[in-house]
C-alpha cells in the first residue's frame, strides 16, 4: 500500500512540475513569436527607404530579474546597420532579407541577455549590492500574475497532499515528513536545474517558492502532529529553510521572496492541530520576519516591506483572541521593532545617526530603503502596543509594556527625525490605562476609579514610567536636533502621570494632598525655569519648564475649587502658552496652542455625553464661561501673532455660543443643563441665539483671511439650527400641541409668542441685509411667510386667548382675518408698485387672490348680517382703492 501511495505521490508531483515547465515553455514561445513578428514588420517598413546612416546604439537596459521577452524591440532595431539596395531586391528578396535580419537580431539580443544575466548573478552575491526597484508592485502583478499563482498552487498542493496523506493514513509519520522534505528539496533542485539550462525566469522562482512552502509544512507537521522533534529543533529547521529561501531569492529575485514570505506566514494557519500554541507561532513569526528583513538587505521592494509588516502584525492580532500570550506581546512587538530598525541598515546597536527633518510634520529625507518606510511602520507597532495594553491591562506588566518605549527612546537619541514617537508611545500608554476605566451609564460616559487595592500599584507604575521617560529625555536633550520634543517629554510626563493617578486613584488620599503635590511640582518647575533663564539654558527647556509649572498649578486649582473643573485647568493653558509665545517669541509652539484649543472646544461641545455635574454648583458659568475667558485673554496676548490670535478668537466665539446655551438651560431646568427635556422657551431662545451667532460668524468671515471658510461654514450651521428650532415651534403650534400653546400666557400681544414668532422676522430681515448675498432672497421670502403666520396667529390669540387651533373660529375672528389679510395684500401691492419691485407686487397679488377666494367661499357661507356686509364692502372698496393708487403710481413713474 505504501508503495502505491509513493507512486501516486510521485505522479502528482510530476504533473505539477510538468505544468510549471509547460508554462515556462509557453511563455518563451509566445515571447519569441511576438519578437519575430514585431521585427519583421519594422524591418519591412525600414526597407522601403534607403538608410544611409546607422541608428544610434541604445544603452544596455537588462535587469538581473527581467523577463526573457524584451520590453521593447526598439533597442534591437537601433543596433541594425542596414544597407539595402531597393533596385537589387525584389519583393521575395525583401521578405527573405527581412526574415534573416529579424532572426539574426533576435539571436544577438538573446546572447546579449544571457551575458547580462551571468554578469548580474555574479554581482548579486555581494552584500553591498542592493537590488534597486524598477517597477511597482502592481506592474509586477499584472506582468507575472500567472507565475505567482502557479508557484502558490505548487506550494498549496504540497501542503494539501500532506494533509490528505495524514487524513487517509497512507503513510507512516516518518515517511510523511521525509516525503514532504524530499518534495520541497526536489522542487528547489528542479528550479536550480531549469535556471542553469534556460536562464533566469520568474517561473523558476515560483517553483522554488513552492518548495519552500512545502518544507515549512513538513517541519510544522513533524512538530504539531507527531511531536517528532522538540519545538526548538523545529524552529531551527524553519530558520534554515528561511535562510535557504533568502539565498534562493538572491538568485531568483523578489518573486521567490514574495511567495516564500506569504507561505511562511501562512503555514501555521494551513497546517494546524488546533492546540492554540500561539506563543510558538509568534516565535516562528519572529524567525520568519528576521529572514525577510535579511532578504530586504539585498532584494529591496516596498511591497516586500509591507508584506513583512502585515505578516508580523497578523500574528500579533491573532494573539489577541486568547490569553496564552499575556505578558509576551510587549516583548514580541519590541523585538519586531528592533528588527525593523537594525537589520536592513546593520544598525545592531541602534546608534546610527540619521540626519533629516522631523517626521511626520515634514520630510526632507531621501526615500531610501532604510529611512522612508520605517517611521510609519513604527507608528503601526506603537498602535498595536497601545491596543494590547488597553485590552489586557497594565498591572504587573511594567517591563512588558516599557520595552518598546525604551527601544524608541534609545533610538531617537540618534535619529532626531523620529523624536515624536516617544511622545506617541507615552500618550498611547496613558490613554490605554485611562480609557479602560471609562464606562457608559444612562447615556453618559464616566471614569471609574480603580479598586482600592490596585491604586498603590498604579502609583508605582506611573512613577517608574515617568522615571524611564525622564531619564532618556534628559540624556537625549543635550545636542539633540529636536530639543522641544525632549524638553516637553522631560517636564510634562511627570505632570501627566500625576493627573492619571488622580483620575483613577482618588481614594488613595484626600484631594488637598493631591493639590499640594501638584502645587509643589509646579513650584519646582517654575523655580527651575527661573534658574534656566538666569543661566541661559536652552530656550526649549526654559519654555517647557514654565509650561509644565503653569499646568501643575492649574491642576491644583481644579482639584481644590469645587466650581472649577479639569477642562478649565486645560483651558487655562491657552493663557500660559499664549503668554510664553509672546514672552519668548516662539511661534513654533503654535501646534501646541492649536491642540489645546481644539481639545477644549471638542471637550465642551461633547459635554452632554462626557460629564455629569452636581446641581448645587454653578458649573456652567465656571466651565464654559471660564474657558471662553481663557480664549479671550489668549487672543489679547497673541496680538502680535495674527494667525494664532484668530484661532483663539474663533474658539472664543464657539465657546461663547456654548456658554449662552448652557446658561439658558441651567436656569430653565433648575441647574440641570443636560436635562433631556426640551421646552418651548428653550426652542425660542435657540432660534434667536443661533441666528444672531450666524450673523456674528459672517462678520468674522469678512474680517478673516485664513479662517474665512471655517467661519462661513459654522455660520451656516448656526443658521440651520435656528431654522430647525423655528420650524419645531411652528409645527407644534399648527398641530395644537400643548407643549407650545400652554407655554404662552393669555396676555394680549406681550407674551412669549411675540418672541417665538415675531423676533425671527426681525432676524430674517437682518440676515437679508447683512448676511451672504446668496441668502438674501430666501431670507426675504422667509420674512413674508413668517410675517403672515405671525399676524394670523396673533389674531387667533386676541380672539381666543390661546394659540390652540382646536377651538371653533368665532364670527368676529373670521372677519378680522379677512380685513387684516386684505390690508396686507393691499400694502404689498402698493409697496411692490412703488418701490420694492415685481416680486413683492406678485406676492401681494397672490395674497389678494387668496383673500378673494376666502371671502367668496368661506365668508359668504359662515358670516351673517352686518359681518357679511362689512366683509364684501371692505373687499370692494379695497379693490377700487388699489386700482386708483396703482394708476397714480404708474402715472408718476412715467
- More reliable by pLDDT, 146 or 185: 185
Q: Residue 139 above 80 pLDDT? A: no
- State mean pLDDT over 639-652: 87
CA distance 857 to 519: 81
Q: Residue 93 above 60 pLDDT? A: no
Q: Averaging pLDDT over each range in 235-244, 426-435, 698-707, 801-810, which range is the top one?
A: 426-435
Report pLDDT for 308: 92
Report pLDDT for 151: 55
- State mean pLDDT over 42-60: 47
List, in sequence order, every beta strand (DSSP E) within 734-855: none
CA distance 269 to 722: 58
Confidence of residue 888 (pLDDT cuts 50, 70, 90): low
Q: Residue 141 above 60 pLDDT? A: no
Q: What share of the chain is helix, strand, coil (3-state, %, to 5)?
A: 75, 0, 25
* Long-range contacts of the stretch 869-872 (C-beta < 8 A, 24+): 870/815, 871/815, 871/818, 871/819
DSSP 797-810: HHHHSS--S-SPPP
Count of beta carbons in the 10 Å neighbourhood of residue 849:
11
Q: Residue 132 above 90 pLDDT? A: no
CA distance 304 to 298: 12
pLDDT, tens only, 253-298: 776 777 678 767 876 775 555 566 788 889 889 988 988 898 888 8
CB distance 500 to 434 below 8 Å = yes
Report pLDDT for 548: 92
**Mean pLDDT lowest among 355-364, 465-474, 845-854:** 355-364
Look up the pTM and report it: 0.61
CA distance 283 to 268: 12
Mean pLDDT value across the chain:
75
CB distance 106 to 39 below 8 Å = yes
Q: Which of 376, 473, 478 is nearest to 418 (CA)?
A: 376
pLDDT, tens only, 652-707: 988 888 888 888 878 877 767 667 778 888 888 888 888 888 888 888 787 776 77
Residue 64 in grid coordinates: 538581473
Report pLDDT for 217: 76
Could you give the C-alpha distances from 807 to 119, 390, 799, 804, 810, in angstroms and in order? Answer: 102, 62, 11, 7, 9
Report pLDDT for 657: 81
Report pLDDT for 10: 41
- Burial (CB < 10 A; 0-12, 13-18, 19+), residue 664, is middle
The SS3 call for residue 524 is helix
- State mean pLDDT over 342-371: 67
pLDDT, tens only, 828-843: 777 776 667 677 777 7
- State mean pLDDT over 102-116: 47
Q: What are the backbone angles phi and psi of residue 851, rounded to the nearest 5°?
A: -65, -40
Q: Which position has the grid cell 488613595?
A: 508
**Mean pLDDT lowest among 124-138, 481-495, 574-588, 828-842:** 124-138
Report pLDDT for 525: 94
Report pLDDT for 649: 87
Angle of CA points 466, 470, 475, to nearest 5°: 160
- More reliable by pLDDT, 891 or 706: 706
CA distance 406 to 666: 49
Q: Residue 458 above 70 pLDDT? A: yes
Report pLDDT for 495: 95
- State mean pLDDT over 582-607: 85
Residue 508 in grid coordinates: 488613595
The SS3 call for residue 180 is helix
CA distance 128 to 555: 56
Residues 6+ apart with CB under 8 A from 746: 801, 802
Report pLDDT for 440: 78
What's the Rg (C-alpha) of the chain? Answer: 41
CA distance 224 to 228: 9
First to last CA, the chain: 118
- More reliable by pLDDT, 68 or 781: 781
Amino acid at each position: 500500500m505504501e508503495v502505491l501511495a509513493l507512486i501516486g505521490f510521485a505522479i502528482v508531483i510530476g504533473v505539477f512540475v510538468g505544468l510549471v515547465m509547460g508554462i515556462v515553455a509557453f511563455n518563451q514561445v509566445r515571447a519569441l513569436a511576438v519578437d519575430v513578428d514585431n521585427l519583421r514588420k519594422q524591418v519591412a517598413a525600414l526597407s522601403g527607404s534607403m538608410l544611409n546612416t546607422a541608428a544610434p546604439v541604445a544603452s544596455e537596459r537588462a535587469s538581473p530579474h527581467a523577463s526573457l521577452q524584451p520590453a521593447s524591440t526598439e533597442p534591437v532595431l537601433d543596433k541594425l546597420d542596414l544597407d539595402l539596395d531597393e533596385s537589387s531586391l525584389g519583393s521575395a528578396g525583401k521578405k527573405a532579407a527581412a526574415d534573416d535580419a529579424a532572426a539574426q537580431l533576435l539571436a544577438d539580443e538573446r546572447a546579449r541577455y544571457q551575458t547580462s544575466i551571468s554578469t548580474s548573478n555574479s554581482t548579486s552575491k555581494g552584500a553591498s549590492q542592493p537590488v534597486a526597484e524598477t517597477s511597482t508592485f502592481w506592474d509586477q502583478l499584472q506582468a507575472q500574475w500567472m507565475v505567482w499563482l502557479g508557484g502558490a498552487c505548487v506550494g498549496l498542493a504540497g501542503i494539501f497532499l500532506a494533509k490528505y496523506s495524514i487524513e487517509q493514513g497512507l503513510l507512516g509519520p516518518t515517511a510523511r515528513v521525509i516525503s514532504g522534505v524530499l518534495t520541497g528539496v526536489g522542487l528547489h533542485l528542479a528550479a536550480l536545474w531549469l535556471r542553469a539550462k534556460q536562464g533566469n525566469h520568474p517561473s523558476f522562482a515560483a517553483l522554488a517558492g513552492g518548495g519552500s512552502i512545502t518544507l515549512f509544512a513538513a517541519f510544522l507537521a513533524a512538530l504539531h502532529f507527531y511531536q517528532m522533534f522538540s519545538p526548538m529543533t523545529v524552529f531551527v529547521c524553519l530558520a534554515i529553510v528561511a535562510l535557504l529561501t533568502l539565498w534562493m531569492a538572491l538568485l531568483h529575485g523578489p518573486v521567490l521572496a514574495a511567495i516564500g514570505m506569504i507561505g511562511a506566514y501562512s503555514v501555521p494557519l494551513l497546517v494546524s492541530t488546533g492546540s492554540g500554541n500561539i506563543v510558538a507561532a509568534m516565535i516562528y513569526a519572529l524567525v520568519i520576519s528576521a529572514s525577510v528583513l535579511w532578504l530586504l538587505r539585498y532584494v529591496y521592494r516596498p511591497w516586500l516591506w509591507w508584506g513583512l509588516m502585515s505578516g508580523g502584525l497578523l500574528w500579533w492580532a491573532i494573539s489577541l483572541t486568547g490569553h496564552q500570550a499575556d505578558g509576551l506581546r510587549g516583548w514580541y512587538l519590541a523585538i519586531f521593532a528592533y528588527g525593523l530598525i537594525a537589520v536592513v541598515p546593520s544598525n545592531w546597536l541602534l546608534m546610527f545617526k540619521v540626519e533629516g527633518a522631523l517626521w511626520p510634520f515634514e520630510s526632507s529625507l531621501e526615500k531610501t530603503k532604510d529611512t522612508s518606510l520605517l517611521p510609519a511602520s513604527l507608528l503601526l507597532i506603537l498602535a498595536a502596543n497601545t491596543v494590547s495594553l488597553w485590552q489586557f491591562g497594565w498591572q504587573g506588566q511594567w517591563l512588558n509594556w516599557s520595552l518598546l518605549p525604551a527601544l524608541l527612546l534609545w533610538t531617537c537619541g540618534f535619529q532626531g527625525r523620529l523624536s515624536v514617537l516617544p511622545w506617541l508611545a507615552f500618550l498611547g500608554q496613558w490613554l490605554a490605562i485611562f480609557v479602560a476605566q471609562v464606562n457608559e451609564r444612562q447615556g453618559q460616559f464616566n471614569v471609574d476609579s480603580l479598586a482600592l487595592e490596585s491604586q498603590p500599584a498604579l502609583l508605582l507604575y506611573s512613577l517608574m514610567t515617568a522615571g524611564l521617560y525622564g531619564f532618556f529625555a534628559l540624556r537625549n536633550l543635550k545636542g539633540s536636533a529636536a530639543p522641544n520634543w525632549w524638553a516637553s517629554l522631560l517636564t510634562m510626563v511627570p505632570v501627566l502621570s500625576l493627573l492619571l493617578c488622580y483620575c483613577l486613584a482618588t481614594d488613595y488620599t484626600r484631594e488637598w494632598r493631591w493639590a499640594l503635590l501638584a502645587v509643589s511640582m509646579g513650584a519646582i518647575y517654575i523655580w527651575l525655569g527661573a534658574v534656566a533663564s538666569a543661566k541661559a539654558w536652552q530656550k526649549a527647556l526654559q519654555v517647557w519648564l514654565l509650561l509644565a509649572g503653569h499646568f501643575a498649578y492649574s491642576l491644583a486649582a481644579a482639584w481644590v475649587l469645587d466650581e472649577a473643573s479639569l477642562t478649565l485647568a486645560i483651558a487655562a493653558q491657552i493663557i500660559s502658552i499664549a503668554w510664553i509665545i509672546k514672552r519668548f517669541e516662539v511661534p513654533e509652539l503654535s501646534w501646541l496652542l492649536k491642540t489645546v484649543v481644539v481639545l477644549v472646544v471638542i471637550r465642551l461641545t461633547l459635554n452632554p455625553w462626557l460629564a455629569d455635574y452636581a446641581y448645587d454648583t454653578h458649573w456652567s458659568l465656571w466651565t464654559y464661561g471660564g474657558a471662553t475667558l481663557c480664549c479671550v485673554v489668549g487672543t489679547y496676548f497673541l496680538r502680535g501673532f495674527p494667525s494664532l490670535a484668530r484661532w483663539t478668537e474663533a474658539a472664543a466665539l464657539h465657546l461663547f455660543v456654548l456658554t449662552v446655551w448652557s446658561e439658558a438651560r441651567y436656569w430653565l431646568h433648575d441647574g440641570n443643563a443636560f436635562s433631556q427635556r426640551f421646552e418651548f422657551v428653550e426652542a425660542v431662545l435657540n432660534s434667536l441665539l443661533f441666528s444672531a451667532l450666524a450673523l456674528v460668524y459672517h462678520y468674522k468671515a469678512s474680517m478673516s483671511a485664513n479662517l474665512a471658510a471655517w467661519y462661513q461654514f459654522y455660520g451656516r450651521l448656526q443658521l440651520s439650527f435656528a431654522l430647525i428650532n423655528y420650524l419645531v415651534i411652528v409645527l407644534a403650534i399648527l398641530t395644537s400641541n400643548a407643549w407650545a400653546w400652554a407655554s404662552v400666557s393669555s396676555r394680549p400681544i406681550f407674551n412669549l409668542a411675540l418672541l417665538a414668532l415675531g423676533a425671527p422676522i426681525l432676524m430674517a430681515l437682518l440676515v437679508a441685509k447683512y448676511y451672504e448675498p446668496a441668502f438674501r432672497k430666501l431670507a426675504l421670502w422667509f420674512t413674508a411667510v413668517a410675517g403672515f403666520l405671525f399676524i394670523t396667529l396673533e389674531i387667533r390669540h386676541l380672539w381666543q386667548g390661546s394659540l390652540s387651533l382646536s377651538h371653533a373660529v368665532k364670527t368676529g375672528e373670521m372677519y378680522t382675518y379677512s380685513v387684516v389679510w386684505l390690508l396686507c395684500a393691499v400694502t404689498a401691492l402698493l409697496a411692490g408698485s412703488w418701490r420694492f419691485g415685481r416680486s413683492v407686487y406678485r406676492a401681494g397679488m397672490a395674497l389678494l387672490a387668496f383673500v378673494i377666494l376666502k371671502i367668496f367661499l368661506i365668508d359668504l357661507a359662515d358670516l351673517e348680517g352686518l359681518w357679511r356686509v362689512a366683509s364684501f364692502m371692505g373687499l370692494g372698496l379695497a379693490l377700487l382703492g388699489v386700482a386708483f393708487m396703482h394708476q397714480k403710481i404708474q402715472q408718476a413713474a412715467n
